[in-house]
Structure 1
Amino acid sequence: MGGQYRITGDKYPRMRRPRRRGRVVLAVVASVAVLGTAGWGTLQLIDVFSGGDGDLTSAAGSQPDCTTRPTASPAPAKALPAPRTLTVNVLNATTRQGLAKQTADELKKRGFRIGKVGNATAQYDKKVKGTGILLGPATALPVLATQLTGAESRPQADRRGTAVDLIIGDRFRALNPKAAADQALTELTAPQPTPSAQRKNC
């Protein structure tokens, strides 16, 4: 070979491929994009399986949320007198004859003691338009009230003993069925659940 391309001496020029820096940069950018997409997809999956609230700490296995909540425990039964300890005076304020005795006989079958049976006093005679009126100590009235629905209870703070008055009114038809009255009495004296000690739900 001659001219300007003639090779002289014992050394030859090294033939190298030009460096393609553009491809390297493109590959790096593509890798970062792929990793970013994969990371975003992973976060979305964690959000879905953790309930959608975005709490990644809980989804990653942190301690569960132990919230303190009140528990219900039975309260002591109410201190109410038993029917056998109550003396009921049955007084008729209506114009229907024999209603007081009929009601008194039924109450006796249900375990109540029976006191006076007859007509109501002038204060109430033919003046009670509702089912009836219950007069007596505050602790005794709820027990008798389980036997008839709609009667008005009027506690008397100065009333001594366990005697109560049942004044029968115009709307009275009959005592509650015995099964229903017994159920109401059971619920009245049964312990009621009340919030008490605190416990943790984990």
Structure 2
Amino acid sequence: MGGQYKITGDRYPRMRPARRRGRLAVVAVACVTVLGVLGWGTLQLIDVFTGGDKANAAGAAADCPTTGTKASAAPAAVKLPKPAQVTVNVLNATTRTGLAQKTADELKKRGFRVGEVSNAPKEYDKKIKGAGVLLGPSASLKSSLAVLGTQLPGAERRTDAARKGAEVDLMIGDAFKGLAKPADADAALTALAAPQPTPTAKKKGC
């Protein structure tokens, strides 16, 4: 071009697009954010495969203790009278003769002290349908009546608060077929004196 706008020199101007600095800044921030998220996720995975499992296991154990496989502590031994310390009155409430004496002789062989051997009083005579009734004072329920009960498991146990003394009655009923076998009676007496521990129940939902 001529005139005052004449171009001189041997170089020509080159046209360049303007630098997009704003877009580069956005890209940089996005990259940093992505790297941060990836790093946090990696730490979480490491926690899961290492310490996280231990913490969860400890928490589960606290919420749901494994008590189903263990037994509770054994109850304290119960102090019971020995058969020789128990005086038994053997009374027949049936129509079968000689039954009271026969039963009394067997109890004596097993170490019990035998008191009166006779027919049952009128209030019980011919009125006991089961194997028998064991009767004693209130204090005898968990002591001498329990010991005598090992000899006749099917007998009903009753107490009389007005009754005095320590003697107990074995009143024979219509369903009586004999005392328990000596071995069974001894095993029941041993279990009564030293009860075994019972397994604890497992918590529901575990």
| Same fold per superposition (TM over 0.5) | yes
Q: Secondary structure at the match of 1:130?
A: coil
Question: d(CA) in 2 for partners of 1:38 and 1:5?
Answer: 59
For 1:6, the equivalent position in structure 2 comes to: 9
- Out of 137, 144, 149, which is 1:145 matched to? 149
The residue correspondences of 1:165-184 to structure 2 (distance < 5 A) are 165-184=169-188
For 2:110, the equivalent position in structure 1 comes to: 110
For 1:88, the equivalent position in structure 2 comes to: 88
Stretches of structure 1 lacking an aligned partner (at least 5 in a row)? 53-57, 66-71, 194-202
* Matched length: 171
The residue correspondences of 1:34-113 to structure 2 (distance < 5 A) are 34-40=35-41, 42-43=43-44, 46=47, 50=52, 58=55, 76-113=76-113
Question: d(CA) in 1 for partners of 2:17 and 2:8?
Answer: 20
* CA displacement, residues 112-166 of structure 1 (integer Å, 9 cap, x when unaligned): 1112223222221111111211111323211111211231212123433332110
- Out of 183, 186, 193, which is 1:189 matched to? 193
For 1:161, the equivalent position in structure 2 comes to: 165
| TM-score, structure 1 normalization | 0.66
1:27 to partner: Cα distance:
4.2
- In structure 2, the CA distance between the partners of 1:4 and 1:47, relative to structure 1 (3 Å rule), is same
Question: d(CA) in 1 for partners of 2:95 and 2:8?
Answer: 144
Q: Could you tell me which amino acid in structure 2 is paired with residue 146 of structure 1?
A: T
1:169 to partner: Cα distance:
0.6
Structure holding more strand per residue: 1
- In structure 2, the CA distance between the partners of 1:18 and 1:170, relative to structure 1 (3 Å rule), is same
Question: d(CA) in 1 for partners of 2:37 and 2:118?
Answer: 94
1:93 to partner: Cα distance:
0.8
- In structure 2, the CA distance between the partners of 1:46 and 1:101, relative to structure 1 (3 Å rule), is farther
> Any conservation in 2 of the 1:85–1:162 contact (CA below 8 Å)?
no
Aligned CA RMSD, in angstroms, stands at 3.7
Question: d(CA) in 2 for partners of 1:100 and 1:144?
Answer: 15
Q: Secondary structure at the match of 1:172?
A: coil
Q: Could you tell me which amino acid in structure 1 is paired with residue 130 of structure 2?
A: G
Q: Secondary structure at the match of 2:37?
A: helix
Structure holding more helix per residue: 2
